[in-house]
């Protein structure tokens, strides 16, 4: 048994840099290439890996410490006493009670060559934080920039390549949480079959939530003029008020917005090959609440239909779903989905993206609110918007611009054009 001192290696122009993460603890068993610490300079952050296997005897650093090349990271107990001696390496120091090897990670793994790090990915703090939020080991990501530097898009492509295939949730080795007691021990219970539609959709929902890095942008649209216009619509022949739901207007506004932001009307099944599929059609998915479970039929060619046609078709496909008469193919091939809780209640939420789409729009219940406009407070009808999007292909700034455009398309300047 020998003790090995693992020190900060030569990783380029890093001097007095801060330790921002300690990734191991005393007593932990290390394997070769396991990350030990993360250090951060003004330009980038890197993880220092272990070049040996063994048990951590003592840690010599903590978060916030400043380190340079040669500073001691930890002492490792290792049963592997073999070490390739090189002329430039420091000698073995022997003591009466124990033998200590002073080593640095092999040159094969970490080399300093014009600030290029081999085996440790170079990335800015922002990119490294982004990778951590997605659960990505930055050292596994290949950098596309000069010197192998990793940028945000490299992380997105890496995530996509790992999650492109659907996960088989029935066969994967999941550790289920076990109940300590039976439910029946606490009172009367009833066991019922889960509806078939819910059982079928659960796999797709779990796959989407697990494999797609969801981000949700919350906003509100002022639909005061749109609602006044909608409520004023009458049949030219009978003079009776037309019953057109706000959803028909939202479908039309969303379609117009998708034309300006084509990346939202795409799929990234081939992102691992660096390709995305841009759809030239506009088939809007509508989440329909049925006694059998949630179903999402597609309203085809929404860009070619007026408000009346959209309203009629919305009712038709909703009835077909509730009566289980919908064709299976009509549940696929969408551009983007709308899920609305407006008729029930609630404001903001996080809708789950309907794979292979890359975004979904959640609609809450509209409310009258005091809004400050033109130097005074006025009552306006505000509609909650919850836009979930796939962060692998859509950035936060693009999502914010998408919501801004959608708000405009639901506003007074567009409401009257919708019905034409």
Each residue's pLDDT tens digit, 252-299: 999 999 999 999 999 988 777 888 999 999 999 999 998 888 899 999
Domains and CATH numbers, the chain: 2-120 (2.40.50.100), 196-418 (3.30.559.10)
Predicted confidence (pLDDT) at residue 76 exceeds the cutoff of 60: yes
**Rounded-to-integer distance, Cα 160 and Cα 153, Å:** 10
- Hey, which residues does 39 pair with through a beta bridge? 19, 46
The confidence score (pLDDT) of residue 345 equals 86
Calculate what percentage of the chain has a pLDDT beyond 70.
81
Between the CA atoms of 50, 52, 56 and 62, what dihedral angle is there, to the nearest 10 degrees? -20
Predicted confidence (pLDDT) at residue 123 exceeds the cutoff of 90: no
Predicted confidence (pLDDT) at residue 83 exceeds the cutoff of 70: no
**Rounded-to-integer distance, Cα 33 and Cα 49, Å:** 5
pLDDT tier, 78 (very low <50, low <70, confident <90, very high otherwise): confident
**Rounded-to-integer distance, Cα 283 and Cα 300, Å:** 4
**Rounded-to-integer distance, Cα 395 and Cα 397, Å:** 6
pLDDT tier, 96 (very low <50, low <70, confident <90, very high otherwise): very low
pLDDT tier, 2 (very low <50, low <70, confident <90, very high otherwise): confident
Is position 292 annotated as part of the catalytic site? no
Residue bearing the bigger pLDDT, 105 or 225: 225
Closest listed residue to residue 99, CA positions, set 69, 129, 76: 76
How large is the C-alpha radius of gyration of the chain? 29
Predicted confidence (pLDDT) at residue 228 exceeds the cutoff of 70: yes
**Annotated catalytic residue within 214, 218, 283, 391:** 391
- Hey, which residues does 368 pair with through a beta bridge? 381
For residues 20-30, give the mean pLDDT.
86
Helix (H, G, I), strand (E, B) or coil at 203: helix
Closest listed residue to residue 307, CA positions, set 226, 187, 365, 382: 226
pLDDT digits (tens, 9 = 90+) for 295-346: 999 999 999 999 999 999 999 999 999 998 999 899 999 999 999 998 888 8
Predicted confidence (pLDDT) at residue 170 exceeds the cutoff of 60: no
**Rounded-to-integer distance, Cα 77 and Cα 162, Å:** 35
The confidence score (pLDDT) of residue 176 equals 61
Predicted confidence (pLDDT) at residue 109 exceeds the cutoff of 50: no
């Amino acid at each position: 048994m020998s003790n090995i001192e693992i020190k900060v290696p030569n990783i380029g122009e890093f001097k007095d840099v801060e330790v921002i993460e300690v990734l191991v603890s005393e007593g932990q068993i290390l394997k070769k290439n396991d990350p030990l610490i993360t250090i951060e300079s003004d330009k980038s952050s890197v993880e220092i890996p272990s070049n040996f296997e063994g048990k951590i005897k003592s840690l010599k650093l903590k978060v916030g410490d400043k380190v340079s090349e040669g500073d001691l990271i930890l002492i490792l107990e290792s049963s592997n006493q073999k070490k390739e001696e090189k002329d430039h390496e420091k000698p073995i120091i022997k003591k009466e009670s124990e033998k200590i090897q002073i080593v640095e990670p092999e040159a094969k793994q970490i080399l300093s060559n014009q600030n290029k790090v081999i085996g440790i990915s170079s990335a800015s703090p922002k990119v490294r934080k982004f990778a951590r939020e997605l659960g990505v080991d930055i050292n596994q990501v290949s950098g596309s920039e000069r010197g192998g530097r990793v940028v945000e898009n490299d992380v997105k492509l890496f995530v996509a390549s790992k999650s492109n295939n659907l996960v088989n949730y029935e066969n994967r080795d999941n550790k289920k949480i076990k109940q300590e007691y039976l439910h029946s021990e606490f009172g009367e219970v009833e066991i019922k079959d889960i509806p078939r539609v819910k059982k079928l959709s659960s796999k797709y929902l779990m796959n989407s939530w697990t494999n797609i890095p969801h981000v949700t942008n919350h906003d509100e649209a002022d639909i005061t003029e749109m609602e006044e216009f909608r409520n004023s619509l009458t049949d030219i022949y009978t003079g009776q008020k037309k019953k057109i739901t706000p959803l028909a207007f939202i479908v039309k506004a969303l379609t117009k917005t998708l034309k300006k932001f084509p990346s939202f009307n795409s799929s990234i099944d081939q992102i691992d090959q660096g390709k995305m599929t841009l759809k030239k059609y506009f088939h809007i998915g509508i989440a329909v609440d049925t006694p059998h479970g949630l179903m999402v039929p597609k309203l085809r060619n929404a860009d070619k239909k007026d408000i009346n046609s959209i309203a009629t078709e919305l009712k038709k496909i909703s009835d077909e779903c509730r009566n289980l008469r919908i064709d299976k193919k009509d549940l696929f091939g969408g551009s983007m989905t709308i899920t609305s809780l407006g008729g029930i209640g609630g404001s903001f939420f996080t809708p789950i993206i309907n794979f292979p789409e890359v975004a979904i729009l959640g609609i809450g219940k509209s409310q009258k609110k005091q809004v400050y406009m033109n130097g005074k407070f006025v009552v306006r009808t505000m509609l909650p918007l919850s836009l979930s999007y796939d962060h692998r292909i859509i950035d936060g700034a693009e999502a914010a611009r998408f919501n801004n455009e959608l708000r405009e398309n639901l506003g007074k300047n567009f409401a009257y054009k919708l019905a034409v």
